[in-house]
Amino acid sequence: MRPQLRAGFIGLGSQGAPMARRIVEGGLPLMLWARRPAALESFADTPATVASTPAELAAASDVIGLCVRDDSDINEVTAGDDGVLAGVAPGAIIAVHSTVHPNTVRTLAEAAALRGAFVIDAPVSGGQPAAAAGRLLVMAGGDAEHVERARPVLASYGSPVVHLGPLGAGQVTKLLNNTLFTAHLAVGASLLRLGRDLGVDPAGLAEVIASGSGESFALARVADAGGTLDRIGAHAGPLLAKDVRLAVAVAEAAGLAGVGTEAVVAAADAALAMMSVAR
């Protein structure tokens, strides 16, 4: 039998904290590091231990989860004398849960390989409620063997955990998903406004569509937010703009910009404009 995996986790925000709690509640040894000591307070009642640096955490972990905000944060916690790469042990796996450019995880993998370690990209979808319930959708990219080795950790907070292809495939999938979601927000908000202008109660319209062939997760979110994108924009607008921008950049780098993407990108841009957020 293989020894029990030791997990490390960095990024205890609104989504990362419940992910980390699911790991420790699943019985896996867990070490944490946080830039803000206050983020660790909610784990005081758990067996989780705390590292003084990301390097210390990496040295003691077989699977290291990173759930920080963006590409620059990934670089901040992995580079330098105290970073993850300085301490990561041969054979360890770094799982990047942040939504970042695919090249960010590929560059990280090249640096990790010099230490004999591996990287998988495993962005997630579902938010805090799904994380707390262990129902996050995990979109994994990387070597199939590495994904399977990390699966006991991933499965503690994720169901399903879907392996999508080589390193970077998880990030591409998440970016495309978020671009489509953003586009759907524009369509949903416009539809509710059209229904209202035609004399249909927007809340009733949303309820009917939720039970019909036009069912839409995005439209339901718009309805919950009062029929406009103002509230969603204030909460998630900048992150959605980042993801749409990255998706377009990835398509352009592959020479695929404008190849069947015009409609979805235009709708996504319309949603960002409604939220007063620029891509």
**Could you list the pLDDT tens digit for every one of the 279 residues in the chain?**
567 899 999 999 999 999 999 999 999 999 999 999 999 999 999 999 999 999 999 999 999 999 999 999 999 999 999 999 999 999 999 999 999 999 999 999 999 999 999 999 999 999 999 999 999 999 999 999 999 999 999 999 999 999 999 999 999 999 999 999 999 999 999 999 999 999 999 999 999 999 999 999 999 999 999 999 999 999 999 999 999 999 999 999 998 877 667 889 999 999 999 999 988
- Do 122 and 198 fall within a single domain? no
Element (H, E) at 141: strand 136-141
- Do 194 and 122 fall within a single domain? no
Q: Is residue 279 part of a domain?
A: no
Cis peptide before 160 (omega within 30 of 0): yes
Pairing of strands 63-66, 7-10: parallel
- Do 143 and 188 fall within a single domain? no
Give the pLDDT score at 1: 53
Catalytic residue check, 242: no
- Do 146 and 219 fall within a single domain? no
Q: What's the Cα-to-Cα distance from 99 to each of 138, 179, 213, rounded to whole Å?
A: 12, 12, 30
Among residues 139, 166, 193, the one where a domain terminates is 166
- Do 216 and 133 fall within a single domain? no
Range of the structural domain that residue 235 is part of: 172-274
Give the pLDDT score at 2: 61
- Do 121 and 192 fall within a single domain? no
131-142 residues labelled b (16+ CB within 10 A) or e (exposed): bbebebbbbbbb
Give the pLDDT score at 256: 86
Among residues 166, 183, 203, the one where a domain terminates is 166
**Using alpha carbons only, what angle is made at residue 115 by residues 112 and 118, rounded to the nearest 5 degrees?**
40
Number of separate domains in the chain: 2
Q: Is residue 194 part of a domain?
A: yes
Active-site residue among 22, 97, 163, 174?
Answer: 174
CA distance 156 to 136: 10
Give the pair of three-digit tokens for residue 101.
Answer: 């450019």
Among residues 143, 166, 189, the one where a domain terminates is 166
Q: Is residue 263 part of a domain?
A: yes
Give the pair of three-digit tokens for residue 271.
Answer: 């949603």
Tell me if residue 227 falls in helix, strand or coil. coil
